Structure 1
């Protein structure tokens, strides 16, 4: 972590603001986290470079769950959302798994104002295909208004699975549709190179 902090000295407390332009949106990247330190180091090293190239004003929020409890991804996103808003007036919230790395620089981390956006439509985990039509997991982006319209995630999903499908249903019930990046743009790697561990 010290090497990453030294490499990205312009980032303070997980936040970056471009010097030579004004970003259209302030973006909060929310990461539910527990027991994946090597994933987090690789993620931060990759994502800071990726996001800085896009000239985004952003903050990365790692929301860590206490050890010994069943993982509750949706609850951690809800906590991250509240904490990010206490910190700044973010327009866009990217809900991001720590083990997914975008492969294409054209995969822009902003939020359309009219509908939620699914960024990770072609993950290596699923042989770069969408596993099913209502899949809304991995990496998604919503505006503050959209997140509040769906009332965030349910806090009832412990362990792995189900919270993404429930979240997709909340979007549909709120009369919104999901915008999906095209496969070539929305490609994500999930296998960690051993030389980076």
Structure 2
């Protein structure tokens, strides 16, 4: 089951906290899901182009099930096997309902331990985020290669933080079918925030996201947007 898995991780170095976290995350995957293929897409522009990084990681992938995972999250690896079982009947999977945002100090302590599951450092200081149908669509997605390619991957016109997950969700839901959300928990490592307010391209991202929103449930309109998108595919 896990031998058919490619884990796609978009990343951009910050020469600091994110790099420390990312090193731990890579070791975590090598330890807890050693059968999986790890594909890292590096964004090297001034602004992080997460869409491009995901597409670059997908271009490296040789297997049929994609796990699109941010480089600052981890989880019980049993989530993946559960998601793959659901993927037999569902179009794609968003496997979490809660996110535990770990505090700065707790993250630092965790980074000093070996990355494994169960954790060797207890997570005791965190903020719990609850998802809904319309938010927290990214972070961890499980989808087959063919459905990912059907929507041409992620739209690389999204530059800087925000909007690309909403657009991808709209595209896949409209063209392929709706996602199923499972009742699991993600753990998010602390790092300095960016957000829309610090993204000089935020207005463009929001306008582009609105195009995807307006095309929801209309396959012809969505196909037109996808045909106009920027993608290495």
State if a TM-score over 0.5 links the two structures: yes
> How has the CA–CA distance of structure 1 residues 137 and 65 changed in structure 2, closer, same or farther, with 3 Å as cutoff?
same
Q: Provide the aligned length of Structure 1 versus Structure 2.
A: 157
- The aligned counterpart of 1:77 is 54
**Quick check: 1:168 aligned with 2:169?**
yes
Unmatched tracts of structure 1, length 5 or more: 1-22, 193-197
2: CA distance, partners of 1:77 / 1:179: 21
- Helix, strand or coil for the counterpart of 2:33? helix
Given the two structures, how large is their TM-score scaled by the length of structure 1? Answer: 0.72
Partner of 1:26: 4
Offset, 1:105: 4.0
Q: Is the 8 A contact 2:100 2:187 kept in 1?
A: yes
Distance 2:147 2:57 in 1: 16
Paired residue for 1:92, among 54, 57, 65? 65
Correspondence for 2:98? 122
CA distances 1:76-102 after superposition (whole Å, capped 9, x unpaired): 111111121xxx3x1101111011010
1:175 and 1:92 map into 2 onto residues whose CA distance is 15
Runs of 4+ residues over 4 Å off in structure 1: none
- Post-superposition Cα deviations, 1:5-25, rounded to whole Å, max 9, x if no partner, equal xxxxxxxxxxxxxxxxxx365
SS of residue in 2 equivalent to 1:127: strand
Work out whether residues 25 and 91 of structure 1, in 8 Å CA contact, stay in contact via their aligned partners in 2: no
Root mean square deviation of aligned Cα? 2.1
Which residue is equivalent to 1:3?
none
d(CA) in 1 for partners of 2:20, 2:163: 26
- How far does residue 134 in structure 1 lie from its aligned partner after superposition? 2.5
Shift of the alpha carbon at 1:138?
0.5
Give the deviation of 1:108 after TM superposition. Answer: 1.9
Question: What secondary structure sits across from 1:94 in the alignment?
Answer: strand
